[in-house]
C-alpha cells in the first residue's frame, strides 16, 4: 500500500482503496481488505494484473459511453481518453465537458487546450503533458524501450 500524490491509499497500478468497490474487489481476490489497507498484507503481481485489467476494461467501456465518436478516434486519442478515465474515474472525466465536446467535434487542439486548463493537468504533471500532446497531435511518443521490451511513453 502506498499513498498517491493526493494522499489516497493505493495499491498496484493506481487502484484507489477508498473507492466504493475496493473492499469487494480485494476480498474477491482472497485478501483481507483491512490488512491490505493497513499495508500489512501485500498482493501478488497476478492480483495487481487482475485489478488493472478490470479497471482498463471499465475505462474502455466508460469511454465508449461518454465520448460518442470514441470508436472513430485513432489509437493515440483513444489511449488518452482511456487514461484520463482510468485516472479520474468516469464521473471525473464526464466533468470535462469542453474536452469531450471538442473531441466529438474533431477539434483536437481545443480538446488539448481544455485538458491543459484544468486542475487535473497540474495534479498529474508529466502524465498530463503526454496526454495533452497526444490529443493534439494524434500520436504517442515512445521515450524508451528497456531490455525487457517495456515502453516508457514520453
The tally of domains found in the chain comes to: 1
Asked if 118 contacts 135 with a C-beta cutoff of 8 angstroms, the reply is no
133 located within any domain: yes
Q: What is the pLDDT of residue 149?
A: 52
Q: Does the structure show a pLDDT above 60 at 29?
A: yes
Q: Which residues span the domain enclosing 131?
A: 68-142
DSSP-assigned letter for residue 16: E
Is residue 25 a part of any domain in this protein?
Answer: no
**Confidence bin at 146 (pLDDT 50/70/90):** low
Q: Cell numbers for 77, please give them.
A: 486519442
CATH number, residue 115: 1.10.530.40
CA distance 53 to 26: 14
pTM equals 0.84
Q: Read out DSSP for 45-59? A: HHHHHHHHHHHHHHH
Output the pLDDT for position 148: 53
Amino acid at each position: 500500500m502506498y499513498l498517491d500524490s493526493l494522499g489516497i491509499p493505493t495499491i498496484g497500478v493506481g487502484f484507489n482503496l477508498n473507492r466504493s468497490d475496493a473492499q469487494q474487489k480485494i476480498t474477491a481476490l482472497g485478501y483481507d481488505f483491512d490488512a491490505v489497507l493497513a499495508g500489512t498484507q501485500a498482493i501478488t503481481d497476478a492480483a495487481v494484473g487482475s485489478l488493472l485489467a478490470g479497471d482498463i476494461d471499465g475505462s474502455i467501456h466508460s469511454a465508449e459511453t461518454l465520448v460518442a465518436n470514441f470508436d472513430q478516434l485513432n489509437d493515440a486519442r483513444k489511449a488518452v481518453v482511456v487514461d484520463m478515465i482510468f485516472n479520474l474515474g468516469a464521473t471525473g472525466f464526464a466533468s470535462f465537458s469542453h474536452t469531450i465536446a471538442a473531441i466529438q467535434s474533431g477539434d483536437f487542439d481545443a480538446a488539448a487546450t481544455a485538458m491543459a486548463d484544468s486542475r487535473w493537468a497540474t495534479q498529474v504533471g508529466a502524465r498530463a503533458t503526454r496526454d495533452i500532446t497526444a490529443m493534439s497531435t494524434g500520436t504517442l511518443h515512445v521515450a524508451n524501450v528497456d531490455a525487457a521490451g517495456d515502453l516508457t511513453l514520453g
